[in-house]
A and B are shown apart, each in its own frame.
Chain A
Amino acid sequence: MTSEYLIYKSLLVVLVFVITLVVAMYSTYAERKIAAFLQDRIGPNRAGPFGLLQPLADGVKMFMKEEVIPGTSNKALFILGPAISILFSFLTGAVIPWGSAVNIMGSEYSLQIADVNIGILYLFGVVSMGVYGIMIGGWASNNKYSLLGAIRASSQMISYEVAMGLSIIALVMTTGTLSLNEIAAQQQGWHWNILIQPLGFLIFVICAFAETNRAPFDLPECETELVGGYHTEYSSMKLGFYLFAEYINMFISSAVIATFYFGGYNMPLIARFVHDSNALAILGVVFLFAKIFFFIFCFMWVRWTLPRFRYDQLMNLGWKTLIPLSLLNIVITGAVMMRHEIFQLFVK
Chain B
Amino acid sequence: MITTYLFGFLSFLAIMFALMVVLSKNPVHSVLYLVLTFFTIAGHYVLLNAQFLAAVHVIVYAGAIMVLFLFVIMLLNLNEETEPHKSVWLKASATVAAGLLLVVLVGSLKGAETIVATNKFDPNIGLIENLGKSLFTDFLLPFEVSSILLLVAMVGAVLLGKKSIK
Distance in Å from the Cβ of B101 to the closest Cβ of chain A?
33
Please pick, from A77, A131, A151, the residue contacting B75 in the complex, using a CB distance under 8 A: A151
The answer to whether A128 touches B71, judged by C-beta atoms less than 8 angstroms apart, is: no
Which chain A residues border B26 with CB–CB below 8 Å?
A: 74
Closest Cβ neighbor of A121 among chain B residues: B55
Taking a contact as CB atoms closer than 8 A, the residue among A118, A128, A136, A150 that contacts B51 in the complex is A118
**Quick check: B51 and A116 within 8 Å, CB to CB?**
yes
In the complex, chain B residues 5-61 whose Cβ is within 8 Å of any chain A Cβ: 26, 28, 32, 35, 51-52, 55-56, 58-59
Residues on A with C-beta less than 8 A from B59 are 121, 124-125, 128
For A118, A147, A161, the residue with the greatest tally of chain B CB atoms inside 10 Å of its CB is A118
B96 CB-CB contact with A under 8 Å: no
A160-214 contacts to B, CB under 8 A, are 161, 178
The reply on A139 being an interface residue by CB < 8 A is yes
- Whether A122 and B67, one on each chain, are in contact in the complex, defined by CB atoms closer than 8 angstroms, is no
Contact with A118, one of B63, B75, B128 (Cβ below 8 angstroms): B128
Cβ contacts A46-59/B at 8 Å (1 or 0 each) = 00000000000000
Closest to B74 in A: A139
Asked if A121 and B52 make an inter-chain contact with CB atoms under 8 angstroms apart, the answer reads yes
A158 proximity list for chain B (CB < 8 A): 64, 67-68
Asked if A129 is at the interface of the complex by the 8 Å CB criterion, the answer is yes
Q: Is B63 a contact of A129 with CB atoms below 8 Å?
A: yes
Contact with A along B55-95 (1 / 0, CB 8 A): 11011001110011011001100000000000000000000
Q: Mark A105-136, 1 if CB is under 8 A from B, else 0.
A: 00000000000111001101100110110011
Which residues of chain A from 237 to 259 have any CB-CB distance to chain B below 8 Å in the complex? none
Do A178 and B128 touch (CB < 8 A)? yes
B127 within 8 A of A: yes
Number of A-B contacts (CB under 8 A): 61
Q: Contacting B67 at CB < 8 Å: which of A121, A125, A131, A178?
A: A131
Whether B32 contacts A136 by the Cβ 8 Å rule is: yes
Q: With A and B bound together, what is the CA distance between A116 and B58 in angstroms? A: 16
Q: Which chain B residues lie closer than 8 Å to A121 at the CB level?
A: 52, 55-56, 59
Pairwise interchain contact A122-B128, C-beta atoms closer than 8 A = no
B28 near A77: Cβ-Cβ < 8 Å = yes
**What is the CA–CA distance of A128 and B35 in the complex, to the nearest angstrom?**
12
CA gap between A215 and B55 in the complex, in Å: 30
- B71→A154 contact, CB < 8 A: yes
Residues in A whose Cβ lies below 8 Å from that of B56: 121
Minimum CB–CB distance for B112 against chain A, Å: 37
Within the assembled complex, what's the spacing in Å between the Cα atoms of A260 and B164? Answer: 43
| A residues near B64, Cβ cutoff 8 Å | 128, 158, 161
- Cross-chain pairs A/B with CB under 8 angstroms, 25 sampled: A118-B52, A118-B128, A121-B59, A122-B55, A124-B55, A125-B55, A125-B58, A125-B62, A125-B63, A128-B58, A128-B62, A128-B63, A128-B64, A129-B58, A129-B62, A129-B63, A132-B35, A135-B67, A135-B70, A151-B71, A154-B67, A154-B70, A155-B71, A158-B64, A158-B68
Beyond the given A125-B59, A147-B74, A158-B64, could you list 19 further A-B residue pairs with CB under 8 A, ordered by the A residue number?
A: A116-B51, A117-B51, A117-B127, A118-B51, A118-B52, A118-B55, A121-B52, A121-B55, A121-B56, A121-B59, A125-B63, A128-B62, A128-B64, A128-B67, A129-B63, A131-B67, A139-B28, A151-B71, A151-B74
Shortest Cβ-Cβ A-B pairs, 6 listed: A128-B63, A121-B55, A125-B58, A125-B59, A118-B51, A118-B55
